Structure 1
Amino acid sequence: MKKLIAAMLVLLLAGLLVAGCGGADKKKIVVGLDDNFPPMGFRDDKNNIVGFDVDMAKEAAKRLGMEVEFKPIDWNSKEAELSGKRVDMLWNGLTITEKRKENILFTKAYMENRQIIVVAANSPIKTKTDLAGKVVGGQEGSSSIEAIEKDAATMKSFKELKKFGDNVAALMDLKTGRLDAVVVDEIVGRYYIAKKPGEYTIIADNFGSEEYGVGLRKEDKELLAKLQKAMDEMKKDGTSAKISKQWFGDDIVK
């Protein structure tokens, strides 16, 4: 009986070793994203997760020889999802900020973006000064809110700063008149405006520019180096430009 148990343990150990070797050859990256953030990451009419960042992540994972899984998360809890190892990367229009650098390891910036102010097409608001006494919206946990908060004088002039779960909800409230303006990533804002011609206007003023990067855990330096190499190669051989043109009609990759 003891010999049988010993033999079974040997087989079990061998199986684990084989599985371990196989796992080393076939790793998986879990990418955390907001699945309502077009055109960076969102669900199409068949409920598939698609977008510019999704295509970029798929291509990078292929070059790394890894599988990739896209996991929708509460974007307001993104750092907790990353540090808690429920996701391995944040790749979804993630703005590089000094505050986020304290807890997140970033790739080099791959895209530039501005925080634009969107108003209704017939709105009298033309400048940031005109936002005084108005209700302004933005996505909770986003760099849009951070950008507004940095401009303390302008924010203090608002009647109210309303925070939403996603940009879609904020823009819907703008359309119905419950908001006077929405501060949003330019890439996202222009995507929506193009789909709703005549409904919205972008004013000349903005809340500053920023850069997008991919976020990893602070300890994942080796993975960062490999990912950065893959992204650099994608830029060099024109793959990232091709993906960009499919989503934006032009190469806007930095």
Structure 2
Amino acid sequence: MKKSLALLTALVMAVGFTLSGCGDKKEDTSLADVKAKGELVMGLDDSFPPMGFRDEDQNIVGFDVDVAKEVASKLGVELKLQPIDWNSKEQELSTGNVDCLWNGFTKTEKREKEMNLSDPYMKNTQVVVVLADSDINNIADLAGKVVDVQSGSSAELAIDNMPDFKDSIKELVAISDNVKAMMDLGIAGADAVVMDEVVARYYMEKDPGTYRLLDESLADEEYVIGFEKNAQSLRDAVQTCLKELAEDGTLAEIATKWFGKDITTVK
């Protein structure tokens, strides 16, 4: 009898602990919070053309900005553009300073574990940019050279994942943004820049004959939108909006505006 009572007591306590743990789980109010404040705060690097950058009048423009505006409109809120230090993006998201990270944001295993990611909406490749008259023709030629990369970027991660390549170069210089990295390349402060292909091609089109890409790439990637880990309702609402924009042709129109054709992958 005493043994049965002890087992019953243990069972009741176990159930109690389980229910208590469920009660401690954070409630997802992410979508409701965005609608209550009337704005979606988009964390971005404002030096990442053509995804998000400042034009000659210092207005923040770009492909991701245009798409985010359409999504915010569908959600019934305003879009607030919040430029951030890209090297501190995870902290900006986790502390609630921004609702999402949306600016050529690459999907990685680490980010999948730490955040709630949208489905991929565009493919990308990490490439090496050199001056058009450079004698560098392949990755092996970068041995003993100075290479710039944006600090905290997936380009930096791609280099870290190639230890032999990283060890072969003379110096890897972490720059705050790609605009400064390209300026450094232009004045021969660096021999090459590793960056996203979409950004590299923007610079090549803007200044024809100045730059070229090596045929070899460092990594294939996909762009996603990053949300706080518990923000499932906001993530799902934004994903639904993206699908609707793809279905009605709006996403293709925006892509054609910035890239000359539709390179999005939303289904």
TM > 0.5 fold call: yes
Give the Cα–Cα distance (whole angstroms) in 1 for the partners of residues 127 and 110 of structure 2.
Answer: 21
- Aligned-pair distance for 1:27? 2.4
Look up the SS of the partner of 2:50 in the other structure. coil
Counterpart position of 1:145: 156
Counterpart position of 1:124: 135
Alignment of 1:103-118 (within 5 A): 103-118=114-129
1:240 to 251, 254, 267: 251
Counterpart of 1:197, as a letter, is P
Instruction: Say what the alpha-carbon RMSD is for the aligned residues.
Output: 1.4
Counterpart position of 2:5: none
Counterpart position of 1:32: 43
Counterpart of 1:90, as a letter, is L
Counterpart of 1:83, as a letter, is S
Q: Confirm or deny that 1:182 pairs with 2:190.
A: no
Q: Deviations over 1:64-112 (max 9, x none)?
A: 1122100000000000000010000111000000011121111000000
Q: Deviations over 1:187-206 (max 9, x none)?
A: 00100111111111111011
TM-score by length of 1: 0.89
Alignment of 1:47-196 (within 5 A): 47-196=58-207
Unaligned runs of at least 5 residues, structure 2: 1-31
TM-score by length of 2: 0.85
Aligned length: 233
The question of whether the paired residues in 2 share the 8 Å contact of 1:26 and 1:67 is answered with no
Give the Cα–Cα distance (whole angstroms) in 2 for the partners of residues 92 and 72 of structure 1.
Answer: 10
Give the Cα–Cα distance (whole angstroms) in 1 for the partners of residues 106 and 35 of structure 2.
Answer: 31
- Aligned-pair distance for 1:172? 1.1
Counterpart of 1:242, as a letter, is E
- Aligned-pair distance for 1:44? 1.4
Give the Cα–Cα distance (whole angstroms) in 2 for the partners of residues 109 and 61 of structure 1.
Answer: 19
**Poorly superposed stretches of 4+, deviation over 4 Å:** 23-26
Q: Deviations over 1:117-155 (max 9, x none)?
A: 001111111111111111111100000000011011111
1:228 to 233, 239, 242: 239
Counterpart position of 1:46: 57
Give the Cα–Cα distance (whole angstroms) in 2 for the partners of residues 208 and 148 of structure 1.
Answer: 9
State the percentage of identical aligned residues: 50
The question of whether the paired residues in 2 share the 8 Å contact of 1:30 and 1:68 is answered with yes
Residues 86 and 122 of structure 1: is their aligned pair in 2 closer, same or farther, counting only changes over 3 Å?
same
Q: Deviations over 1:215-247 (max 9, x none)?
A: 000110011111111101111111100000011
Look up the SS of the partner of 1:45 in the other structure. coil
Residues 99 and 25 of structure 1: is their aligned pair in 2 closer, same or farther, counting only changes over 3 Å?
closer
The question of whether the paired residues in 1 share the 8 Å contact of 2:132 and 2:211 is answered with yes
